[in-house]
Amino acid sequence: MIHTLRNIVIEGNTKNGRRFDLFIQSLILLSLISFSLETLPNLDSKTKELLRIFEVISVSIFSIEYLLRVILTKKPLSYIFSFFGIIDLLAILPFYLASGVDLRSIRVFRMFRLFRIFKLLKYNDAIDRVSLAFNSIKKELVVFAVATIFLLYVSAVGIYYCENPSQPEQFKSVFHSLWWAVTTLTTVGYGDMYPITVGGKLFTTFVVFIGMGMVAIPTGLLASAFSKTFNDKTID
């Protein structure tokens, strides 16, 4: 009995296991739709009650699934403190917490229900390939992240000294200038902070070109890693 349940809930490598996975995936999607429907204004009381009943049913099923995984897995603590174990817990926790907190805080707890979308990740083999691809270039990504932080700081300092004398209200400090650095280096450019001096404009042009390179480098790294991972899986 336990072996059969383990194959269905944990392994998912049987016909019933695949059906169980499909059922949980469908329930997650329906739960997210229900969550979105709750935000609609002027919902009648009957609809609200139906959504509440569905929430109780879905949370009950997710809770049973979580308990079964804790009981049936060979290393319960490893599952509980794993990424997906934490996600499974966060997917049901808001329901139980909401009944014992101040009503003003319930909205915050309800937002955590969005963690259910991450439960879908465990049912997709493609996620394994994504994980392998990221792991293969994690050192390069760490170096890139450090370089990005350095460039953000240098850009903020540079634009601060260029624009602060002319726009003291916009570029009040290096910390205020960091927002400009983020939007410029990522080539978003909202337009709420922009240079008006010649030096500031020249510096911005320089930063924009660097920003285009920043977008291209991780894109190239990831494309190469995905290609290699896909080819390795195909060979296997």
* pLDDT tens, the chain, 236 aa long: 777 888 777 776 778 888 888 888 888 888 888 888 888 888 899 999 999 899 899 989 999 999 998 998 888 898 899 878 888 888 888 777 766 554 444 455 555 656 666 666 666 666 667 777 778 888 888 888 888 899 999 999 999 999 999 999 989 899 989 999 998 888 777 778 889 999 999 999 998 888 888 778 888 888 888 787 777 655 55
- Rounded to an integer, what is the distance from CA 117 to the centroid of its chain? 9
**Torsional class of 70: left (φ above 0), alpha (ψ -120 to 50), beta (otherwise):** alpha
Q: Domain boundaries in the chain?
A: 2-123, 136-235
How far is it, in rounded angstroms, from Cα 93 to Cα 66? Answer: 11
CATH topology for 2-123 is Four Helix Bundle (Hemerythrin (Met), subunit A) (1.20.120)
Report pTM.
0.58
CATH number given to 136-235: 1.10.287.70
Q: What six digits make up the tokens of 90?
A: 């966060």
Determine the Cα–Cα distance for residues 93 and 76; give it in Å rounded to an integer. 18
Environment class of 155 (CB within 10 Å of its CB; exposed 0-12, middle 13-18, buried 19+): buried
Residue 160 amino acid letter: Y
